[in-house]
Chains A and B, each alone.
Chain A
Amino acid sequence: MSTSNLHQIGMTCSRSTTRRDVMQAGLFSTASVLFSNTHAATAPAPQALPAAPFKTKAKSVIQVFLWGGMSHNDTWDPKPDAGYDYNGPMKAPLSTNVAGIRLSEWFPKLAQQADKFSLIRSMTHGNNGHETAAYLVQTAHQPGERLAYPSVGAVFSYFRGKNYKGVLPPYVVLTQPQGRFSEEGFLGAKLKPFATGGDPNASRFEVEGVISRSISDTRQQARRDLLAKMDTLRQTAGGDAQLTASEQAKAEAYDMILGKGREVFDLSKEKPELRDRYGRHTFGQDCLAARRMVESGVPYIVINYPGGWDTHSNHFQTMGRQAPELDQGLAALLLDLKERGLLESTLVWCCGEFGRGPKIDWQPPWNGGRNHYGKVFSVLVAGGGFKGGHVVGSSDAKAEEVKDRPVYPVDLLGSVYQLAGIDPKAKLPHPMGLEAHVLPYGEEGVKSAGLLTEIM
């Protein structure tokens, strides 16, 4: 082996990535460019953003996250002419109450509410890994940084939580946390979402830690008193900073256990007909519980879809079971919010981390499944300042590529932040003192095609 060879094979002190350059420019980013889409333009520099006097339209946000990645072809971007290899057993799409918008046969109820939501049919990030794509969709930052960015819910919690005086935590997940990445990111454990646990469709929604099956309030209070008396170390070392912080957290917990927050979870206070309209299944009652949280002022609610959409196999069977529940719950939620005059101030958005392969995989073991697909997929947005009855962007004839108006994660989240009055350029406190902003405008590899101004 010759020296010259060795030298040529990258043994130079030149930077093998450019992250340092980016850091020097004051922004911390990774260099990996995951995007191949030709429509892309680099994100505008922060100053190019509308220097908005941010007017808060969305007081609360409900994010319905379709973990696993829901097929776009079979749901909100049907391509009836694409042929059997693309559509399988799907029948003709349904028309909706908005001329020109069609949904798949599994969404008859949403079809009656199409004037209340808009669809983005050109969402794209090109990433096909569950965790990395989930991270991209919910932070808009490139995966791979040493410290993970907080998800949009934690960012809400950080900015809105400061003056928040609600009876529930500012960031609630129904019912299980996603657990695939740390939603709180580098903002730390205090901004973790509160996960309710339990099942809102059960006879009693037993929110883990808040509503207990067997403990009466009297016993609850007696136990609290007993603990206070028996906590000998705390009495002896009362001034310790660790113990003081711990007592503070315990007091917050008791505010939930014995306070008014519990009533929000008591779905029996709703009319049975309304509960039926939402659907007597976990997702339907998740939606109802979310509406009750909106009424009590919770800024950010995530419904982590009970079940998954990662339908590599048994695709059409799973979809045939799940999609109608999604249809029922979501349609009832939008209608209910509208009827209560809450839709204007409540932003709803719904998507998975990616779509699914438009071309069906007939090979064993998939036998008619669909695989991960980040190149193009669909998002439903409604309320909180988003107009209804519109379609943003489109995919090509087989829903394989973005045809026009790509929407990147920064565009979607930037729009959500803008409507919620959160400055997407605002700084976040980074534990290692690095520059960190809500969204990665101007960083290398971050693509943007602009905010969703057409529906705002």
Chain B
Amino acid sequence: MNPPCLFFLLAAMTAAGAVDDTARKSTPAAAPSPAVKPTPATPKANAAKSPLLATASKKAAVPVLPPPQPKPEPKVEPPIYESTSPVKPAGEIDRLVMAKLAPLGVKAVLCPDAVFVRRAFLDVIGTLPTAAEARAFIEDTKPDKRRALIEALLQRDEFAVYWAMKWSDLLRIKAEFPINLWPNAAQAYHRWVMTAIEDNMPYDQFARDLLTSSGSNFRVGPVNFYRAMQNREPEGIASTVALTFMGVRTDAWKPEKLACMARFFTQVGYKPTSEWKEEHVFWDPMGTHTLAGNIAPGKASIEEIGKPAAPAQGVATTDAPALPATGEAVFPDGKKIKLPEDRDPREVFAEWLITPKNPWFTRSIANRVWSWFLGRGIIHAPDDLRENNPPSNPELLAYLEGELVKSKYNLKHLYRLILNSNTYQASSLLGDTKPEAHFARYPLRRLEAELIIDAINKITGTTELYTSAIPEPFTYIPQGEPAMSIGDGSITSPFLALFGRSARATGMEEERSNKFIAPQWLHLLNSTQIQKKLESGPGLRDIINARRTPQKTLDELYLTILSRLPTSAEVELALSYGEPREGLNKVGKPRTGKRTEEWNDIAWALLNSSEFLFRH
């Protein structure tokens, strides 16, 4: 069945108004229902049967085993990845997205509750739901439960931890090469970011603090913004500012344009103190920090101050006739300004940037937030805003920008709008490439390195060692801390390095790589590290040894690892794995249970399934 056909079919199904499905309950099965393949011709019948079907048929064969195409007639069980309830636009986002999808003949399909609970946990707090949390949500009958879950997740402690991890990539929080913040400074920077997120600091204030703060790198977290870059020359700073807050890559700019923007950053001073590796970032109109020997407060030779600093690397401007007179700077939109002598030019720049009227500021963050949840920017890539890279849905982007401005840059407001939309809650199943840019589905994406190992540790009840071998004394993170809570990108483990954690050298979104390469599979499929966790971690052992029936044990494994119950086909498959056992058990009945090794293999297969490893 090719994609458009599937979409039509599902659209027809959902239009018929089926009740919301739930995952298969583990009550004993009724007699298998006759095979009913939902087609546009029989939506009513399907819909009418849904409530029954939801509880029926452990033996039904959905999903179909490979080779998948064409599908044999399945016995009916609610689909795992698609909801049968109707999609009604939940708000403006859906209206604007559907306006694009309708002419393409595509209608989105909602994801079912079991998919949603996992998706929301991973997307909002970077954490897997426990088996109990997943079960409670799936069994909850309140109509508004998705909204309630989103609200609860936005208030969880892990929320700030997870989002601080994301921001730490963009803000390049790393103690060592090539950013070289130094451990105390990286910690101060990360703590500031996390606190700002916890407090839901308005984004405009967040940006302003990062752009204009002065003070010690150990005490005033945000000043590290100006230290967290490889090139601290004014052009280097301008380039980083443009990338971070305008979503613009200056690499394609004319050199003069960057040089003119750079003027706002010619007075950023860096000065060490007598504390080892402490450094003050400050407004330095006199260029005092460039004086040779002026390395600590009080050490400046007073008569030197006031003399012009060495004309930096300043070659004469003869090669740049387009440049304005000295003392002037030019904003990226071409507006010229005479720099006031009594103000830090960083503030002048921030004033221009941080306003709803600025063509980049609001657009860039609205687009980024969208891309974080939907896997793709309305302008894509989200840090490549430029004239010849238009948004795929300008109205949608404008709406998000408007909401951000209206809410006074409350990012949680934007999160809520997106998370509660049916666009976000769409199924992740097939769409061809055209609707991809129009958000017909929730795209499959491999989890971040930190999330994979945190999830595996949570499931198996094990921990990891995270260290930084430089500088001495080495840093060790207490065992049991999740990887996503590590503030400093220099503190790492072989797993994190292998799975493409961001190097935090550039602040570009694509620095984090979530694409599978063969060595990652070697590690997941067959490494001693993962095998040990499976075999001796208390998490799985407790589930396997809990004296449940094999069926119940499997339910628990599925809920723990995949946040849903198995279908009857999956039950049959898993329980038939391995050697049948011979002999009698203690009470004289034939042995039916599985060997621990076989349970381990089943858990292993679930941990290596696409459903575990990909957001879906």
A residues adjacent to B (C-beta < 8 A): 1, 3, 5-21, 23-24, 30-31, 129-132, 143-148, 169, 176-177, 179-182, 188-190, 192, 194-195, 197, 206, 208-210, 212-215, 219-220, 222-223, 226-240, 242-243, 245-246, 249-250, 252-254, 256-257, 431-434
Contacts and interface: CB of A to CB of B under 8 A. Distances in A.
B609 interface: yes
Nearest to B574: A230
B30 interface: no
B604 A10 contact: no
Contact of A130 (B320, B470, B527): B470
B313 A13 contact: no
B606 A230 contact: yes
Interface in B142-185: 176-178
8 contacts: A169-B518, A189-B500, A209-B521, A223-B601, A231-B609, A234-B609, A238-B68, A432-B249
B444 A240 contact: yes
A421 B358 CA distance: 52
B11 interface: no
Contacts of B515: 189, 242, 245
Given A237-B428, A431-B510, A432-B249, A5 B327 contact: no
A257 B613 CA distance: 20
Contacts of A19: 235
Interface stretch (B32-40, B260-268, B294-302): B260-268
B546 interface: no
Nearest to A144: B230
Contacts of A245: 515-516
A5 B317 contact: no
In the A-B complex, list the 4 residue pairs whose CB atoms are closest, starting with the nearest: A209-B522, A131-B177, A20-B255, A253-B521
Nearest to B519: A194
A6 B255 CA distance: 23
A237 B430 contact: yes
B614 to A, nearest CB: 7
B260 A242 contact: no
B372 interface: no
B355 to A, nearest CB: 24
A253 B519 contact: yes
Contacts of A182: 503, 505
Interface centre among B239, B327, B519 (most CB of A within 10 A): B519
Contacts of B316: 14
Nearest to B432: A239
Interface string B492-524: 101001101001011000100101111111110
A14 B522 CA distance: 52
Contact of A236 (B81, B230, B497, B517): B81
Nearest to A432: B251
Given A14-B317, A226-B577, A242-B446, A8 B519 contact: no
B341 interface: yes
B133 interface: no
A253 B522 contact: yes
A208 B523 contact: yes
B324 A16 contact: no
B2 to A, nearest CB: 9
Nearest to B287: A9
Contacts of B429: 236-237
A208 B528 CA distance: 7
Contact of A144 (B65, B231, B234): B231
B234 A16 contact: yes
A309 B597 CA distance: 44
Nearest to B81: A236
Contact of A5 (B64, B69, B286): B286
B259 A242 contact: no
B555 interface: no
Contacts of B535: 214
Contacts of A188: 513
Contact of B610 (A15, A192, A231): A231
Contact of A242 (B252, B503, B608, B614): B614
Interface stretch (B120-128, B192-200, B217-225, B303-311): B303-311
A132 B443 CA distance: 39
A189 B611 contact: no
Contacts of A243: 444, 610, 614
A428 B602 CA distance: 44
A189 B513 CA distance: 7
B128 to A, nearest CB: 16
A226 B327 contact: no
B156 to A, nearest CB: 26
A249 B516 contact: yes
B317 A228 contact: no
A177 B262 CA distance: 38
A185 to B, nearest CB: 10
Contacts of A9: 266, 285-287, 308-309
Contact of B605 (A7, A21, A223, A257): A223
Contacts of A190: 517
B509 to A, nearest CB: 12
Interface string B585-616: 00000000000010001101110111101101
A449 B164 CA distance: 48
Contacts of B258: 20
Given A148-B505, A189-B517, A249-B516, A229 B309 contact: no
Interface string B429-448: 11000000000000111100
Interface in B228-271: 230-231, 233-236, 239, 249, 251-252, 255-256, 258-260, 262-263, 266-267
A17 B235 contact: yes
Given A230-B570, A235-B64, A16 B314 contact: yes
A232 B81 CA distance: 10
A10 B177 contact: no
B286 A257 contact: no
Contact of B506 (A147, A237, A256): A147
B354 interface: no
A10 B312 contact: yes
Contact of A239 (B3, B255, B287, B605): B3
Contacts of A206: 528
A173 to B, nearest CB: 11
Contacts of B567: 232
Contacts of A431: 510
A421 B64 CA distance: 51
A18 B611 CA distance: 50
A231 B518 contact: no
B522 A129 contact: no
A253 B525 contact: yes
Contact of A233 (B81, B492, B578): B81
B291 to A, nearest CB: 11
B349 to A, nearest CB: 14
Contacts of B574: 230
Contacts of A14: 259, 314-317, 320, 323
Contacts of A231: 605, 608-611
Interface in B43-102: 63-66, 68-69, 80-81
Contacts of A23: 255
Contacts of B235: 15-17, 19-20
A249 B66 contact: no
A209 B601 contact: no
Contacts of A223: 601, 604-605
A226 B602 contact: yes
A146 B330 CA distance: 24
A63 B516 CA distance: 27
B339 interface: yes
Contacts of B570: 230, 232
Contacts of B311: 8, 10
Nearest to A20: B255
A14 to B, nearest CB: 4
B573 interface: yes
A220 B313 CA distance: 62
B42 interface: no
B63 A17 contact: no
A236 B82 CA distance: 11
